[in-house]
Structure 1
Amino acid sequence: MNSPELQNVPLFAFATAMEFSKVFPEDSSKAESQNQLIPLSGPFQGCFACILGVGILDFSAGLASLLFNCKQTNFKISAVISLGICGAYPDRGLSLLDVVNVSSDRVGDLGCEEQDGSHTLWDKSILGGNCCQAPAVIQKMLVALPQVVGATVNCCTGTATTAVERVKNMGCDVESMEGAACFAICQKFNIPAFQIRAVSNIASTRDKSQWKIEEALEKLHKCICG
């Protein structure tokens, strides 16, 4: 892993094997490689991907372990790009299947519940990398995407009341279960991080019949791979 040709490479990070396989279908046979560097082929030859698990804990532990191992072997990751789906909060100007650049994120349910039922959040926003730091393979596309504010949650929104509260507290546009974890871990390793997501559902009253997961991942594939 420390040969000269494998230095300064981008790493595409996924929560699930399904997301990885849909975005990079030509490499789907490698989707069983959990928490490992997966070499990509085709137009992304020379780049790597990884599948880390769903949620803040698994994603954080997996990414931190992987980046630490890379550092120990002098294998330099130039940037981490988190790819996947997300839910869009109502009335934030987003529609199903939109692809967005999540430029800042925060843990949206870390804090305490007050006596009146309101929530006080402890976590602060974490910024993603500047577009000028982005790898050449995604830089133009990243600049062209709408920038949005993310909320990373342990429990996905399931009611309109929760959606309203989260937007009011954080001014967030979309929610995921890993975004802030990616930004936070990469900050510790001094590696620029980016987050590109496709909207698969509206984060409000939970109605799985309205979800567009397959279509969102196809849209993300076309956005990333052209």
Structure 2
Amino acid sequence: MLVFAAATIKELGSFIHGHLPLPKFDSGLVVTTYKNKEVAFLVTGIGPLNASHKLTACVTEYNVSGVVNIGIAGSFDLNSLGLGDICVAKREIWPEFGLVTDDGIQARGLGFAQAAINGEKIWDVIELSPELASKDLGVFLPMSWSRVISLTVAGVTGAQARARLLRQKYGAHIENMEGFALAYVCILRQIPFIEVRTISNLVGSRDKKDWNISLALKKLNSIWPTFF
């Protein structure tokens, strides 16, 4: 079963619109069949805690062949990744894990990694393999979709100074609130994972001219043919 996971009903609804009737997400999860494929649509709720909780429950109950995270995200530079652009995460970073010092957060400062897979420790970075995952799932990811470095945060960046700091330290292209958590659940279980997002805003700005959520949601709908 292929699972499409998004933080909100609005994001999943925009992805599904015109292709399937919008189901009732009473439990946050709907399982159905489309073109002889068993698929599921999962509303995780906003933030890394909700995301990991909901996806863990899903993969525990069902035989999940792959997970695709669909959603919107902020861009650190609208000149290179503009409003409405589609991107694929090639790396997920959790910048809030570790020891907080006067020089910032040090991921290895506590000395305890989050996990270890095949002897390799996971600290604050998960390297993703979208091309390999897409091959495993039998789908094609257009090269016109930028491959990006993504930051997952519990608190959205609303200040330009913090946005500059995060971009400089991590070389990030986008900011989201669920990607690392979903990737973490999948990597621990060796489940293929793809994260596809559309750009809704400039990270760090609250100026309306730097936001276009409706465009980002509309662009989510154009992702559907890639998977079906």
* TM bucket, shorter chain: 0.7 to 0.9
Alignment TM-score, normalising by the size of structure 2: 0.82
Q: In proportion to residue count, which structure has more helix?
A: 1
> Are the aligned partners of 1:88 and 1:173 in contact in 2 as well (CA < 8 Å)?
yes
Q: Within 5 Å, which residues of 2 pair with 1:1-226?
A: 9-25=1-17, 26-39=19-32, 41=34, 45-70=37-62, 76-90=63-77, 93-115=80-102, 118-122=103-107, 123-134=123-134, 139-208=139-208, 210-225=210-225
One-letter amino acid matched to 2:166: R
5+ residue gaps, structure 2: 108-122
Q: Label 1:207 to 1:39 Cα distance change in 2 as closer, same or farther (>3 A).
A: farther
SS of alignment partner, residue 140 of structure 2: helix
Q: Label 1:211 to 1:92 Cα distance change in 2 as closer, same or farther (>3 A).
A: closer
Q: Label 1:156 to 1:113 Cα distance change in 2 as closer, same or farther (>3 A).
A: same
Q: Label 1:101 to 1:119 Cα distance change in 2 as closer, same or farther (>3 A).
A: same
SS of alignment partner, residue 184 of structure 2: helix
> Are the aligned partners of 1:105 and 1:179 in contact in 2 as well (CA < 8 Å)?
yes
Alignment TM-score, normalising by the size of structure 1: 0.83
Mapped to 1, the partners of 2:3 and 2:106 lie a distance apart of 31
Percent of paired sites with the same residue: 22
Mapped to 2, the partners of 1:223 and 1:142 lie a distance apart of 10
Shift of 1:137: 7.3
Q: In proportion to residue count, which structure has more strand?
A: 2
Q: How big is each residue's C-alpha offset from its partner over 1:186-217, in whole Å with a ceiling of 9 and x where there is no partner?
A: 01111011100000001022224532111111
Partner of 1:73: none
Mapped to 1, the partners of 2:138 and 2:104 lie a distance apart of 37
SS of alignment partner, residue 73 of structure 2: strand
Shift of 1:160: 1.0
**Number of residue pairs matched by the alignment:** 210
Q: How big is each residue's C-alpha offset from its partner over 1:89-145, in whole Å with a ceiling of 9 and x where there is no partner?
A: 027721111100011101122234323xx3124242102234133268773235542
Q: How big is each residue's C-alpha offset from its partner over 1:33-76, in whole Å with a ceiling of 9 and x where there is no partner?
A: 333243254x6853222111110001100100110111xxxxx3
Shift of 1:220: 1.8
SS of alignment partner, residue 155 of structure 1: coil
The RMSD of aligned alpha carbons is: 2.3
Q: Label 1:18 to 1:121 Cα distance change in 2 as closer, same or farther (>3 A).
A: farther
> Are the aligned partners of 1:128 and 1:195 in contact in 2 as well (CA < 8 Å)?
no
Mapped to 2, the partners of 1:165 and 1:148 lie a distance apart of 18
5+ residue gaps, structure 1: 1-8, 71-75
